């Protein structure tokens, strides 16, 4: 379980193909504090730490993960948002994030509002996911509030702190991001689809 509050960046230092899997090596300020088998969210994707070497750690992404997320687009030098799993005695600051990406979206607009930034995203609405105005959305692992919510899209407002401390700072129009929709909304929709058919 995560909260969508990013701790730091990790930079890709090596990528290796192993059959259908991809092995990623990341360098980060917290890599040496991690433990083998620990769950860590990379751009919102929950991955298991398989090796640690000083300030670097290694994870494995299977084909399902690569197909559903933007991890397959990473190259050496790419920066990802990093968050360790929630401690049982920790303060819950964001929203419930599982680290299970539902689908990707494309950034269609970035507007500098002189003190904040507006980002607009478009996603395939036929997959059954949706956002709610003023509800929660997780974009590349970042817990955010939806500003508006047309079908197949949404916008978010980014404050200076988030802009500086996540990879939103480098996000450009056309880039692909990971989306995890609000888990409460997903369960409610599933129940309604099962017991209140159209």
**The Cα angle at residue 58 between residues 55 and 59, in degrees rounded to 5:** 145
Higher pLDDT, 15 or 182: 15
Q: Are residues 80 and 109 in the same domain?
A: no
The total number of structural domains that make up the chain: 2
Please give the pLDDT value at position 198.
Answer: 64
56-60, 79-83, 89-93, 181-185 — which is least confidently predicted?
89-93
Are 58 and 130 part of one and the same domain?
no
pLDDT of residue 8: 97
pLDDT exceeds 80 at position 94: no
Q: Are residue 78 and residue 110 in the same domain, yes or no? A: no
Residue partners of 89: CB distance under 8 A and separation at least 6? none
Q: Quick check: is 142 in a domain?
A: yes
Angstrom distance (rounded) from CA 172 to CA 106: 9
Inside any domain, residue 145: yes
Evaluate whether 80 touches 40 at the Cβ level (below 8 Å): no
The last residue of one of the domains, among 84, 113, 141, is: 84
Per-residue CA distances from 55 to 11, 43, 86, 103 (Å): 11, 19, 21, 30
Taking CA atoms, 4 is separated from 26, 50, 60, 71, 111, in Å, by: 19, 22, 21, 17, 23
Q: Quick check: 12 and 26 in contact, CB under 8 A?
A: yes
> Between the CA of residue 35 and those of 38, 56, 80, 98, 108, what are the distances in Å?
5, 12, 19, 19, 38
3 assigned to some structural domain: no
Distance of CA 10 to the CA centre of its chain: 13
Residue 71 lies in a domain: yes
pLDDT at 140 over 70: yes
Confidence of residue 16 (pLDDT cuts 50, 70, 90): very high
Structure tokens at 184: 């409460």
Q: Which two tokens stand for residue 191?
A: 């129940």
Other beta carbons less than 10 A from residue 93's beta carbon = 10
Same domain, 114 and 189: yes
Choose among 36, 52, 24, 42: nearest CA to 84: 42
Q: How confident is the model at residue 10 (pLDDT cuts 50, 70, 90)?
A: very high
Across 52-56, 82-86, 95-99, least confident range: 95-99
Q: Which domain holds residue 188?
A: 103-195
Whether 107 and 191 map to the same domain: the answer is yes
* Residue 90 covered by a domain: no
What pLDDT, on the 0 to 100 scale, is given for residue 183? 83
Residue 94, domain member (yes or no): no
pLDDT grade for 163, boundaries at 50, 70 and 90: very high
Q: Which residue has the higher pLDDT, 186 or 91?
A: 186
Residue 52: what pLDDT?
98
One domain for residues 186 and 112: yes
Question: Does residue 89 have a pLDDT over 90?
Answer: no
Decide if 137 is inside a domain: yes
CATH number of the domain at 76, please.
2.40.30.20
- 46 Cβ partners below 8 Å, 6+ apart? 2, 39, 40, 85, 98, 99, 100
Do 114 and 30 share a domain, yes or no? no
Distance, CA of 174 to chain centre: 17
In a domain, residue 92? The reply is no
In this structure, the answer to whether residues 126 and 64 fall within a common structural domain is no
**Residue where a domain terminates, one of 21, 56, 84:** 84
Q: What is the average pLDDT across 166-171?
A: 96
């Amino acid at each position: 379980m995560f909260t969508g509050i990013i701790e730091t960046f990790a930079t890709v230092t090596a990528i290796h193909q192993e059959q259908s899997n991809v092995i990623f090596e990341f360098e980060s300020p917290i890599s040496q504090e991690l433990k083998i088998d620990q769950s860590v969210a990379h751009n919102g994707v929950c991955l298991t730490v398989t090796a640690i070497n000083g300030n670097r750690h290694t994870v494995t992404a299977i084909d399902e993960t690569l197909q559903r997320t933007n991890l397959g687009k990473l190259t050496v030098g790419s920066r990802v948002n990093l968050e360790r799993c929630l401690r049982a005695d920790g303060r819950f600051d964001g929203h419930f994030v599982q680290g299970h990406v539902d689908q990707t979206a494309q950034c269609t607009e970035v507007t500098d509002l002189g003190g904040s930034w507006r980002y607009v995203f478009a996603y395939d609405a036929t997959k059954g996911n949706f956002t709610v105005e003023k509800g929660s959305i997780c974009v590349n692992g970042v817990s955010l509030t939806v500003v508006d919510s047309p079908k197949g899209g949404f916008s978010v407002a980014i404050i200076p702190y988030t802009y500086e401390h996540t990879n939103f700072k480098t996000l450009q129009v056309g880039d692909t991001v990971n989306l995890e929709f609000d888990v409460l909304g997903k369960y409610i929709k599933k129940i309604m689809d099962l017991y209140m058919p159209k």
